[in-house]
Structure 1
Amino acid sequence: MQSLLDAAAAAGEGLPPVEKWNPAHCGTMDMEIRRDGSWWHDGRRITRDRLVRLFSTILRKDDDGVHYLVTPVEKQAVRVEIAPFLAVRVDRAERDGRPVLIFTTNLGDLAEAGPDHPIRVEIDKDTGEPTPFVIIRGRLEALITRPVFYELVDMAQQDGNRLTIESSGETFELGWVA
């Protein structure tokens, strides 16, 4: 499990420094990242995994809430249905006797839940259904898939009528117990 902790700690190394690039906005690209994690361009699904991974490395979400593909010379807005990544796996480890949750995305990114990678859960006001997320890098989130969320709920502690889970010294609320 130590190698997974080391890999999560090194996550983001070697990625382009998109947060430092400030090109002028160049327009909107006909690209969409759908809820199921698929990437589409001009109405066609991008099926080359390496190309999707490449695009994901130059993606960022700015303060305006818009997702952009960014290079040093241009910035193109893209549509994101709910989140650009899916958290498809969670591993539980320990560091200094404390729990650590490590999420893996559909594109192979790792994120250690904690202060820099918080977990949040939106609750639909009409249906009461939870929609859980974890920050992967910058402001980019991963939608936590249903099986992974069920694993989190199974690991959670009940605190009064709240379900909480701890990772890297932070406590995150997953929902309420009726």
Structure 2
Amino acid sequence: MSEPTTGPAGAAFDDFVAARSTALWRSAFLLTGDRHKAEDLLQAALVKTWRRWDRIGHGSSRSHETAEAYVRRALATTYTDWWRRRWRGELPTGELPERAGDVDEAARAEVRHDVLTALAALPRGQRAVLVLRYFDDLTEQQTADALGVSVGTVKSQASRAMTALRSSPALTDRFGDAA
């Protein structure tokens, strides 16, 4: 397996990472619910992408779309693989820090915490569909392709996930029945 090391291929990969890493990290964060795990997940997905960069291609605007789709699929599959292998017992949690005197940021942190709590309660497949479909704004077909499932599965998983979120105690306590 040849890996791009320098030259145009390496520069194209560097350009891709510089342009898309923030958005990809956000997706990883929504999947994992943890900043450090998100960094690890994105790093693992980018390593997989780097190893196949010569097959993905580079140099055209279309190659960035192809590479991003590849990374998103790698994020979803790596996330699922990690979950299958890891122990799922007690997980340490902490309070989200509040900034002194910044009431709006504190309220935003609480809402973020409630949404992440509700997302964490979803099965992994439903969570992955919501992140790709609504946060990353992928079409149903793109989401299906990224997860390696049918469009019907994306639709049913999204529907089940939205129903679960609407009845989530973390969100109904905050937003009432409108959640």
Instruction: Say whether the fold is shared (TM-score over 0.5).
Output: no
**Larger Cα-atom Rg:** 2
Which has the larger helix fraction?
A: 2
TM superposition score normalised by structure 1 = 0.28
TM-score for the superposition, normalised by structure 2:
0.27
